Structure formats: C-alpha cells, structure tokens
Amino acid sequence: MRATFVLVPGAGGRAWYWHRLVPELEARGSAAVAVDLPAGDDDAGLEQYTQTVLDATAGRSGGPLVVVGQSMGGLTAPLVCTRVQTELLVLLNAMVPRPGETGGAWWTATGHEQARAEAARAHGWPLDDDDAFLHDVPPEVAATAPTPFAQSGTPFAEPWPLRAWPDTPTRVLAGRDDRFFPVAFQRRVAGDRLGLPVEELPGGHLVALSRPAELADRLVGFLSALSVAGR
C-alpha cells in the first residue's frame, strides 16, 4: 500500500534527522515528508509546530497518511492527528504526554532521570549525552549534522492541549539500544499512559540515522498489518 509518511523530528527540529530514512521509504513504494520545525523560535509553541507539520503535508499526493513522531516529536505528532485524517500514528523513542502536562514537567513525572541512571548502571553505559545520542550512529553520518541544534523552551512550557489521546491507531516503537529513553522506561510510560505495548527494533535513540532500513521495514510493516486487519 502506498502511503505518505510524515516525519516529525525531536528536539532541534531538523528534517535532516530523517535523511537516511526517506530514501528507504521511497524505495518501498511510499512517499515521505520530513519536517523542519521552528525549534529555534522562542515565539513558536505547540500550535506553530502543529501548523508547520500540517503545511508540510498540504502538497502530498494522496494515499493513507502515517505520522511518525520521534522523541520530543511525541508532543506534536498526536496534535497533527486531530487536524488531518491519519491512518496511523507511530511514536518512535517518543515522549508520551498527558492532558494538561507540560513537556518540562514530563521528565519528573515519568521518572526519566532515575530510569536513565539505573539503565546506565545496569548496562555499564556512560551517563553522557553524546554517548546517549550518538553511540550507534556511524561517525561519517554524525559528521554531516547541521549545527547548531537550537531548541527553544517554549513548547516545553505549554500544557499539552488535548483532553485525551486522539482516536488514531497508535503504535509505540523503541530502539532496544536506546540509552536516552531506555526501552524498559518506554515500556512503563507507554503502558501507564496509553495502555499500549512497545515494539522493539535494533538501534539507539536516533535509530533513523543508525538503522534506517530496519526502521523503514517496520514502519511499512505496521501499515500493512493495519490494512490486513481492516483497522
């Protein structure tokens, strides 16, 4: 089934994050729209982020729409699903907000810091952000990253505006090697907040950079399974 995958990045808001995944999805017969968010604009909040994604989808050629939100993109992706007909929402190593919760409060409310520290001790990982994000990204790929990755705090200060999760089929996908959002942490958050299981694939927090082919297979597979099941 040909679909359009709308790819919402995490903090820093760069479409570049998806540059290895886009050709993989296209090779599998789908279209892909990688979105640049106004991450460096202190006047831009969740409404502006949502509208930016909607504007990026306006010229799509048709077929089912799949919205993929990575990391901080989990704040925006569900909002998009309330504004445009969406076949599937995929949370990829993503934040899962509650109604009225700010992105800033999410970290404490979920116990992220403790969960990350416990996973680092258990696995012998350094508690270092560069390692957490880049440990499995090929150095030659990381070297092409645009700089700087500025991220305004404005979207983190706003209460998440929905009263409930959107009525869109949702899948939660986690890199089993994620050192920033450890997979056990993601399982707990997705279970507590959405009542959903987490499906795993190899790769870390930036799995679209480290394992784009495996990620594309999983995304296309989600859509195919949904089509067979008739939703």
With 80 as the cut, is the pLDDT of residue 230 above it?
no
Question: What pTM does this model have?
Answer: 0.96
Sorted by where each starts, the structural domains of the chain and their CATH numbers stand as 4-229 (3.40.50.1820)
Contact 177, 136 (CB under 8 A): yes
CB atoms within 10 A of CB 206: 25
Confidence of residue 227 (pLDDT cuts 50, 70, 90): low
So what's the pLDDT on residue 148?
Answer: 74
So what's the pLDDT on residue 118?
Answer: 97
Short-list 77, 64, 27, CA closest to 217? 27
To the nearest 10°, the Cα dihedral for 94, 99, 104, 108? -80
Confidence of residue 211 (pLDDT cuts 50, 70, 90): very high
pLDDT tens digits for range 28-71: 999 999 999 999 999 999 999 999 999 999 876 667 999 999 99
